[in-house]
Structure 1
């Protein structure tokens, strides 16, 4: 990869920054809803003005898990594509069109939630029903993101057309993999929203097949985790090496890891439904096995990153077994924030293995342990890497300098975040092992001895959540300072080169027909038979197979 690619032009920068404004405003709103939740659950706070707990819980989940992540990821990936393969005027226009559709859908959904017409949580499980504009808004967000997908696909296709026989730029390759994953996964979300929820909420049909709706949601819901994670991996593989003064350990290993994520992150939704009836245990077990295949690219990434760290340290003269560890730029927030996320991914990944395990899942299923796990993965590993990206991306797009003040504030913000998350997520994990439920304002269970113990952990969660909210306020301040107040100047857009000692990248890794074909085959294998069973054996009054084929 060549770090001497031309700078992003101002028009592309404006497009990326439009996405970033939505992302960081969402961070503040969603974070405020989160700290209010922890305070309500602790029994120390009552919501004013008749606002309901599940109203703020829905805002928190939708605004952070869907809006913040999608806008940040789409914006960041447009920056990577502009930097590596360029963006034409036509592509920029389509990207803006997708942005406005996503924004309109977001506002529509947010208003519906805020006026109390969609207290259905981030998972919007039936038979909970929201006002139609909630589902219509979600559908528009998905449609807008599809426009971004096909814009990215077109960008790489045109680059390949003008560079026949050349290897795709690594970051552009990674973006296309992630958007392929997103497009295939959101087909499930679009299907359940358009075919089931919107007609049901409009009164066009009287019933909804609950099992089918949950299955389609989790067909989307698990790969959503990797849609969050892969942009962080992009930074780890191809940007962090430049920041630490090293090079990419292996281009082919990075591409292989992304291909494996594409293939094995989608056909595994049943491991979120292990306790649900109506799904044959054999197919649950098969999807559990497929779920564990995702561990392989995660371990490949861990190996690659620490090999990169070690080689960078040894190139600087550190020769002892772990001396290279000292060579890492621990005082540079561009490295420290993502590195904190990497370290957190160790316990987060361990929790994920427990969640996906056929037997251990029975202990923690639908407890607040799962909520704690999400806060370690997307809430720490992913978001801290996104923060680390912001420290160089925002100044480089706005023509500002990453100052010593911003770096110091960023280091403080990372420590604050880690402390708050350790307290809050740790309390969630422990309370979950004691049986405390998720999705519930369960301070109302006061009186029993067990509930009293839960309340103690809820108070800890409120303390941790409050510390996290301080971290959010600090990050939002840093963002707007970098945009409007930091000194004018140049900030590098770091992109690493591949090590000259790396093995050549095999051409088959860019055989898109092969990898997409295998992915589709795995999905059909994992879902066709159980999905037909669901439709054939639908309960009385629920839309079944005959209704679907009429």
Structure 2
């Protein structure tokens, strides 16, 4: 029987570096909750597309908006937040070293706080006390326990994020003068982004929605609540996206046998995301009459600046792919493309996600363009856009990562058969999402509304056109649900039944000859000040204007 000491020695001699098993348990706890959310949220998504097709009616104990809320909260908030915290815990342990007992305890406290909050919020949704959709917009009102439950999820994430930052700071103290590990650096940037953006939704929930739900105030300012939500809501998209970028920048190059193209470029891209992700939320509110057009224009411009780090990422990734493909003998303009490891699910699923992000990003530019946004605003086009960016680019990267990360953390192997099944997931997802998202985009251009169970409005001729696209959405959604069933089976297999062994946690090295990272890119104080300055510039006057013109209260009040 192999001893733990012998296992560690074999790991070292084979060039592997394992995440500490105790740290792995914390990471796995988060990841398991995330994939429970995938199954339940995916089931709710299937019910939605079937209802919209007109071919299915929900049982009497459910309503469409309850199912919509389940889908949005579980996949938009729970899957993402819990998977990210699990992955980031493992990433920091892998690249900055094992957590101390104190740091790990803090991480577990965060997990249990978030999980208790999740259970409380879920109970309210299931009892139909919180059918307020994913955005929980006022004047839709939920039970106070729903709002407090989501607040607990956020606080729990703050606590576990603090443990990750503490481990990173400890590494910096132990390795003075050295460039920080790229993966850990990225984790810290994403946590800072999360801390800043969640302040908006925390203020909305605790100052406005909780007192309103308790009956302590008669009404709330709807425009202010929406502005606070979208201060958080668009940065939330980048909180989802940056862990996928971590995998693309650091893990994928190792899987294909290449090197990180430029560590400096990667760190600069993440710092740009840090300062540009928050002050752009008003571009979701172009149709709100209470926000001055000047500030809509300013935040639209800031939104377009976010394209820059995304283009930097695309350049870096495809440069890495081409360099490695040519090393392997690829000739001609696209000969290198054939040399990439297409049979490896660790590469294939994230790559499909990267490709989906191209049309998804183009749709985002349309959403952020004032005149074009007027055409698609509040139509199912927007839902199709989300399903390309978050539900494909991000989700497939998460899935492809989980299929090797779970066996790494629990001492098992990603077998050839499991790898083949994972590739089937990627193909099914690509087919299903192409059908569903394309039909959503087309139906949106025809005027089909989002957030609605109804396929027809008054028997109009236009509604008749929508129906065929709603049926296509049901077909695509059904294919996606088949993929979700395969994912669920794979996760159970990899967690509990895959053969014992060692599965590597791929972390690429920087290409030889790459320039040294400038000290300014490691200066979180400098970039933090810039971030706060841009946020103050973008939001101070709009929020003051909203408060000054607020109808809430008998006489209202002014800040100046």
Alignment-derived partner of residue 173 in structure 1: 185
Deviations along 1:130-161, one digit per CA (max 9) or x if unpaired, are 11111000110011011122112211111111
The partner residue of 1:36 within 36, 44, 47 is 47
Alignment-derived partner of residue 379 in structure 1: 391
Q: How does 1:355-366 map to 2 (within 5 A)?
A: 355-366=367-378
| Structure 1 residues 21 and 534, CA gap change in structure 2 (3 angstroms) | same
Unaligned 5+ residue runs, structure 1? Answer: none
**What's the CA shift for 1:446?**
5.6
* Secondary structure, aligned partner of 1:267: coil
| Contact 2:16 2:504 (8 Å CA) reproduced | no
Alignment-derived partner of residue 501 in structure 2: 489
1:71 equivalenced with 2:82 (yes/no): yes
TM-score normalised over the length of structure 1: 0.98
| Structure 1 residues 127 and 103, CA gap change in structure 2 (3 angstroms) | same
| Structure 1 residues 123 and 543, CA gap change in structure 2 (3 angstroms) | farther
Deviations along 1:14-52, one digit per CA (max 9) or x if unpaired, are 111101110010000000000100011111111113311
Q: How does 1:191-340 map to 2 (within 5 A)?
A: 191-340=203-352
| Contact 1:207 1:543 (8 Å CA) reproduced | no
**What's the CA shift for 1:542?**
7.5
Deviations along 1:278-305, one digit per CA (max 9) or x if unpaired, are 1010000000000000000000000000
**What's the CA shift for 1:535?**
0.5
In 2, Cα distance between equivalents of 1:540 and 1:224: 28
| Structure 1 residues 462 and 514, CA gap change in structure 2 (3 angstroms) | same
**What's the CA shift for 1:330?**
0.5
Alignment-derived partner of residue 95 in structure 2: 84
**What's the CA shift for 1:544?**
4.9
In 1, Cα distance between equivalents of 2:552 and 2:523: 47
Deviations along 1:396-447, one digit per CA (max 9) or x if unpaired, are 1111111110011011111111111011111100000000110111225262
The partner residue of 2:26 within 5, 15, 19 is 15
1:349 equivalenced with 2:361 (yes/no): yes
| Contact 2:18 2:504 (8 Å CA) reproduced | no
* Secondary structure, aligned partner of 1:359: helix
The partner residue of 1:509 within 521, 543, 557 is 521
Deviations along 1:367-418, one digit per CA (max 9) or x if unpaired, are 0000000000110000000111012101111111111100110111111111
Deviations along 1:456-478, one digit per CA (max 9) or x if unpaired, are 11111111111100000000101
> What is the number of equivalent residue pairs in this alignment?
547
**What's the CA shift for 1:540?**
5.3
**What's the CA shift for 1:321?**
2.4
| Contact 2:273 2:309 (8 Å CA) reproduced | yes
1:415 equivalenced with 2:448 (yes/no): no
In 1, Cα distance between equivalents of 2:170 and 2:490: 37
Alignment-derived partner of residue 72 in structure 2: 61
TM-score normalised over the length of structure 2: 0.96
* Secondary structure, aligned partner of 1:45: coil
In 2, Cα distance between equivalents of 1:94 and 1:542: 46
**What's the CA shift for 1:320?**
2.4
| Contact 2:221 2:552 (8 Å CA) reproduced | no
| Contact 2:27 2:86 (8 Å CA) reproduced | yes
In 1, Cα distance between equivalents of 2:338 and 2:466: 42
| Contact 1:16 1:78 (8 Å CA) reproduced | yes
**What's the CA shift for 1:5?**
7.4
| Contact 2:353 2:394 (8 Å CA) reproduced | yes
In 1, Cα distance between equivalents of 2:161 and 2:413: 31
In 2, Cα distance between equivalents of 1:386 and 1:401: 18
The partner residue of 1:442 within 436, 451, 454 is 454
Unaligned 5+ residue runs, structure 2? Answer: 1-11
| Structure 1 residues 88 and 5, CA gap change in structure 2 (3 angstroms) | farther
Q: Once superposed, what is the RMSD of the aligned Cα atoms?
A: 1.5
1:125 equivalenced with 2:137 (yes/no): yes
In 1, Cα distance between equivalents of 2:29 and 2:524: 31
The partner residue of 1:154 within 157, 166, 171 is 166
Deviations along 1:299-337, one digit per CA (max 9) or x if unpaired, are 000000011011111222324222111110011110000
Alignment-derived partner of residue 480 in structure 1: 492
Alignment-derived partner of residue 8 in structure 2: none
**What's the CA shift for 1:526?**
0.2
**What's the CA shift for 1:226?**
0.4
Alignment-derived partner of residue 3 in structure 2: none
